């Protein structure tokens, strides 16, 4: 039981909870004190750039990113704005995109990965969390918000449509919508990823979502809290599902992470010959 708040779930309770959600949901994993903040928001806050200037800053960031030789191998069309944002997000540049996944177990992996890396004292003061957002509710709210013409543009899910609604629109639409680039990078594909993108970057991601919900509704957002005592069960179960650092981050980096996740298992395993 968490003091002064919600009860932390066991891994079994989490699994039962997410699998019993009705309809279609997408998921994001992190720590309970995290906010739904894009890397563009964080960068603006860190550099004391007013969020009202985020649109100008974003445009200049994309142009600067496109200019340099390090990215020429990707052969992206200059007008593929969503593709460029996805590439920037993949490599750690500030963008308006927020990473979610169609898999609750991929989200749980990232939640426990964040918890494993957390250095809070005492160690049990921070919990992992998986957020779930009802995408059917999201689609209904977007359709209610958009004109019939703009809804047809939105459902095309291509880069020109994305640019028209999310980048070029004046005044900007205050909403959050799903976005998937035409060319998936390997990591996005393996992580069953989807981006949730705000229409108005001069407002926070959360303000965009609240505006989409409207004054009379709350976003259809659920959350599942878990503590460190669920971490060993979680990593063991995720390994059996092939949701591991090795499968989500192919290469030496992923393998190295996967070894760290097996610390207790390796500690408990008898050494042959002793």
CA dihedral 176, 177, 178, 181 (to 10 degrees): -100
- Summarised one tens digit per residue, pLDDT across range 123-147 is 788 999 999 999 999 999 999 999 9
Residue 232 pLDDT greater than 60, yes or no: yes
Catalogue the E-assigned strands of 60-183. 98-101, 128-134, 176-179
DSSP 4: T
* CB 25, CB 133: distance < 8 Å: yes
Q: How far is CA 188 from CA 82, 128, 182, in A?
A: 14, 22, 12
- Supply the DSSP symbol for 249: S
By percentage, how much of the chain surpasses pLDDT 70?
A: 93
Maximum alpha-carbon separation in the chain: 72
pLDDT at 5 over 70: no
The pLDDT of residue 122 is 83
- Confidence (pLDDT) at 190: 83
The predicted pLDDT at position 16 comes to: 98
pLDDT higher at 261 or 56: 56
Q: What percent of the chain has pLDDT over 90?
A: 69
Bridge partners for 130 per DSSP: 29, 224
Element (H, E) at 190: helix 186-190
Give the model confidence (pLDDT) of 22-42 as tens digits. 999 999 999 999 999 999 999
The average pLDDT across 248-266 equals: 74
pTM of the predicted structure, to 2 decimals: 0.91
pLDDT digits (tens, 9 = 90+) for 77-88: 888 899 999 999
| Higher-pLDDT residue of 189, 108 | 108
CB atoms within 10 A of CB 72: 10
Q: What dihedral angle (degrees, nearest 10) is formed by the CA atoms of 11, 225, 238, 120?
A: -110
- Which residue's entry shows tokens 């500030």? 94
- 164-197 confidence digits (pLDDT tens): 999 999 999 999 999 988 776 777 888 899 999 9
User: Residue 214: its pLDDT value, please?
Assistant: 93
């Amino acid at each position: 039981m968490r003091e002064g708040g919600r009860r932390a779930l066991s891994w079994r309770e989490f699994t039962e909870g997410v699998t019993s959600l009705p309809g279609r949901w997408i998921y994001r994993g992190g720590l309970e004190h995290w906010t739904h903040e894009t890397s563009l928001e964080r960068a603006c806050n860190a550099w004391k750039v007013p969020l009202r200037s985020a649109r100008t800053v974003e445009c200049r960031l994309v142009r600067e990113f496109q200019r340099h030789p390090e990215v020429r191998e990707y052969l992206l069309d200059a007008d593929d704005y969503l593709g460029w944002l996805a590439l920037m997000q993949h490599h750690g540049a500030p963008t308006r995109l927020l990473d979610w996944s169609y898999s609750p177990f991929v989200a749980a992996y990232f939640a426990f990965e964040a918890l494993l890396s957390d250095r809070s004292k005492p160690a049990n003061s921070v919990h992992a969390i998986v957020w779930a957002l009802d995408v059917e509710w999201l689609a209904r709210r977007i359709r209610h918000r958009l004109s019939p013409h703009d809804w047809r543009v939105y459902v095309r899910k291509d880069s020109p449509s994305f640019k028209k609604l999310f980048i070029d629109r004046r005044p900007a639409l205050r909403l959050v919508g799903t976005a998937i680039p035409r060319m998936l990078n390997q990591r996005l594909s393996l992580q069953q990823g989807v981006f949730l993108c705000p229409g108005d970057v001069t407002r926070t991601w959360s303000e965009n979502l609240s505006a989409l919900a409207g004054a009379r509704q709350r976003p259809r957002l659920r959350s599942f809290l878990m503590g460190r005592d669920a971490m060993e069960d979680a990593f063991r179960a995720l390994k059996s599902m092939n949701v591991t650092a090795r499968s989500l981050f192919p290469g030496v980096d992923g393998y190295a992470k996967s070894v760290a996740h097996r610390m207790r298992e390796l500690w408990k395993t008898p050494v042959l010959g002793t």
